[in-house]
Amino acid sequence: MRLEGFGIMVKDMEVMVRFYRDILGFEIKEEENTSNVYLEKDGTLFLLYRRSDFEKMTGKTFSYCNGTNGHYEIALSVDNYNAVDIKYNELIALGVKSIMEPTTEPWGQRTCYISDPEGNLIEIGSFTK
């Protein structure tokens, strides 16, 4: 087996597609009003599944986090420390929720955290000064 991509279950498909496509620059592969939407970023497949449709398909119900959650993170890299700060400031100016301002960690990474509209954590970082 090889990793092809990953997916998240979403409540509001249209809002989430707009965020990942228009704010973070993911390429959309399908219509945004379908049960599951395929996006791609740097060769990695990123799937958004509408919660209600997935539950109908599987015949099961699931529990979901509300608000900002720490179950996982999506990690995005930029070229260098300065780019971390620039990208963070650009996103905050667009109204994206800040979780942690840019910080240089003891292990040598400059990193920051934001969240998507449904509270999933997104890290933006670089190990290059």
Q: pLDDT tens-digit profile of 119-129?
A: 999 999 999 99
pLDDT of res. 2:
85
pLDDT of res. 3:
83
Task: Write the pLDDT tens digit of every residue in 36-93.
Answer: 899 999 888 999 999 999 999 999 999 998 899 988 999 999 999 999 999 999 999 9
pLDDT of res. 36:
86
pLDDT of res. 32:
66
CATH class of segment(s) 69-126: alpha beta
The domain locations on the chain are 5-58, 69-126
Do 40 and 46 contact (CB within 8 A), yes or no?
yes
Cα 1 from Cα 91, distance rounded (Å) = 35
Residue with tokens 């099961």: 60
* CB-based burial label for 10 (10 Å; 0-12, 13-18, 19+): buried
Regarding the domain delimited by 5-58, which CATH topology (the fold level of the hierarchy) does it fall under?
2,3-Dihydroxybiphenyl 1,2-Dioxygenase; domain 1 (3.10.180)
Predicted model pTM: 0.92
The two domains 5-58 and 69-126 share their CATH topology (first three levels equal) = yes
pLDDT of res. 4:
85
- Of residues 121 and 35, which shows the higher confidence score? 121
Helix, strand, or coil here: 13?
Answer: helix
What does the pLDDT average to over 15-26? 94
